[in-house]
Amino acid sequence: MQCYENIQDLRDHLSQIKAQNQTLGFVPTMGALHAGHLSLVRKAQTEVDQVIVSIFVNPAQFNNRSDLELYPRDLDSDLKLLEETGVDCVFTPTSELMYLQGHESWVSLENLPVPFEGAGRPGHFRGVSTVVSMLFNIVQPDLAVFGEKDFQQLRIIERMVEDLKFPVRIVRGELIRDEDGLALSSRNQRLSAEARQSALAISRGLFSARNLFTRGSRQASELLGVYLSEIESEPDLTLHYAALVDEQDLAEIQVVKENRPARILTAVEVAGVRLLDNIAMQAA
Ligand code: AMP
């Protein structure tokens, strides 16, 4: 496994791969890797010859300094996991190389970043779309895999690639959960055993909503109702948002219509840790 910190060294390596007509898949991450990230790597491996993973805790997408400082980092363990998974190349740039002194170019979308994560975290998605654009320009992959775990982010990247004609195919990776149902997240490391137990109400509530959907319910009031009653039953949880949305434009909907994929998106805070989750409204 080749590791690069320097952009030019990485470009030299990747141009050799291109010269051999090998296809390249890319999985951008912020490290503290878990089975969710590795599932994206495996997905890429089924489609391309070589897989590159980036590990970069992007300061521009943190609107809160302490969140950036508390973000878990464990490069040694990450590299070991990637090596074991058969990744070909890892890119670990520094902030100074990514954001040059005097940096003033940003990529931002009009509407998709406004609600949900964008409303609670000003500038967050501008940071995401900018760093992903930079990474695409550096790596120039044939495809890139993003997880459905961050569904709003995924839609933003898909829209950006379409609008700005990036020559890359975006592939969706399914949301991976722990055995107890909690969506895997690097932030779960910050949960005490007690907080984690309370957090299980999130996936429990989402599964209840999906079961209700499977039994025929299509109304936001009913589907969100069962979810919210689980959240309200746990005094340690603070709801940031829960919404039933159209998967395409993320507009809130009152009723799920035939042939219009819909999803519940939610963010909940547990003991100072903000957790995201979502579930597709499709028959279980
Ligand atoms: P992050 O390191 O949190 O920025 O995530 C890097 C990529 O991994 C993003 O595309 C995330 O959506 C994806 N990801 C994070 N957690 C999961 C999960 N539990 N299941 C699937 N993909 C995930």
How far apart, in Å, are the Cα atoms of 137 and each of 26, 128, 223? Answer: 12, 14, 41
* 173: β partners: 147
For the entire predicted model, the pTM comes to: 0.98
Q: Which residues of the chain form beta strands (DSSP E)? A: 2-4, 24-29, 50-55, 89-91, 143-147, 169-173, 237-246, 262-270, 273-280
* 226: β partners: none
Catalytic annotation on 103? no
Distance CA 190, CA 175 (A): 20
Tell how far the Cα of 27 is from the centroid of ligand 1, in angstroms: 9
Q: How many CA atoms lie within 13 A of 17 on its CB side?
A: 22
Tokens of 142: 């044939």
What residues contact 81, with CB distance under 8 A and at least 6 apart? Answer: 33, 38
Catalytic residue (choose from 37, 103, 124, 240):
37
pLDDT in tens, the chain (284 residues): 999 999 999 999 999 999 999 999 999 999 999 999 999 999 999 999 999 999 999 999 998 899 899 999 999 999 999 999 999 999 999 999 999 999 999 999 999 999 999 998 999 999 999 999 999 999 999 999 999 999 999 999 999 999 999 999 999 999 999 999 999 999 999 999 999 999 999 999 999 999 999 999 999 999 999 999 999 999 999 999 999 999 999 999 999 999 999 999 999 999 999 999 999 999 87
Which atom of ligand 1 is found nearest the CA of 37? 8
How far apart, in Å, are the Cα atoms of 196 and each of 180, 187, 222? Answer: 10, 11, 26
- Is the CB–ligand 1 distance for residue 112 below 6 Å? no
Tell how far the Cα of 40 is from the centroid of ligand 1, in angstroms: 8
